Amino acid sequence: MTEPAPEGEETDPAAVPLVGPFEAPLETPLEALRDEPESWPVHAREDISRGDAPFAVRRDLVSAPGVEERFWRVVVEHPGAVVVLAVDEEERVLVLRQYRQPAGMRFVELPAGLLDQPGEDPLRAARRELLEEAGLVADDWTHLNTIHSSPGISDELVEVYLARGLRHVPDRGGFQPEHEEADMTAHWVPVTDLLAAVLARQVTDGPLLAAVLTYVLGRPGP
């Protein structure tokens, strides 16, 4: 357990654990509420699936620091992705309706896509996806948030951007939609309506939820 600081001395918030093993949850200052890099020993690594797809699946033989027990963990390697919350002068958001085979649903989503390769500038990818999927370019870009979409199994990192100062352009950079994207439709939705749909659980796409809530909660008050 964490020992209390001597009387008259302040405790470093960074040194306060969120929850220790078998301990009651602690009152935690805001400064301690942050994700931190950490690496456990990996004793072996085996590919399960690796080919032409943008994803690969492997398993790692891991142990906790200072512990002899070893265990396997499956990891989905992901190149990374971007999501764009495009908001016009009337406070409307550009959303897409697209069918997704794994979930068996047509989702309300935001323009989004994979990085072309690991290490690609996410803002460049965001500009590309907004152009290809919505036929829009934006003058103003703001980084809204960063999401680890499913850290228990994947290293996917999603960067979320706000795009404003929108303009329609006729040339989508040679992009030719096919398959699900050829069936995709675009719609303008007021921010207030999209927030209401999020809170009513009518839309459930994770990156859309993160983008909308970050934007609404982060806006200056009236």
Burial group, residue 167, by CB count within 10 angstroms (0-12, 13-18, 19+): exposed
Distance separating alpha carbons of residues 197 and 46, to the nearest angstrom = 43
Distance separating alpha carbons of residues 140 and 164, to the nearest angstrom = 5
Is position 181 annotated as part of the catalytic site?
A: yes
Crossing angle for the helix pair 206-218 and 191-199, to the nearest 10 degrees: 120
Q: Which two tokens stand for residue 80?
A: 């990374």
In degrees and rounded to multiples of 5, residue 172 shows phi and psi of -95, 30
User: Residue 15 has what DSSP assignment?
Assistant: G
Judge contact between 92 and 181, C-beta under 8 A.
no
Start-to-end C-alpha separation, the chain: 45
Judge contact between 57 and 77, C-beta under 8 A.
yes
Judge contact between 179 and 75, C-beta under 8 A.
no
In degrees and rounded to multiples of 5, residue 109 shows phi and psi of -135, 175
Catalytic residue IDs: 181
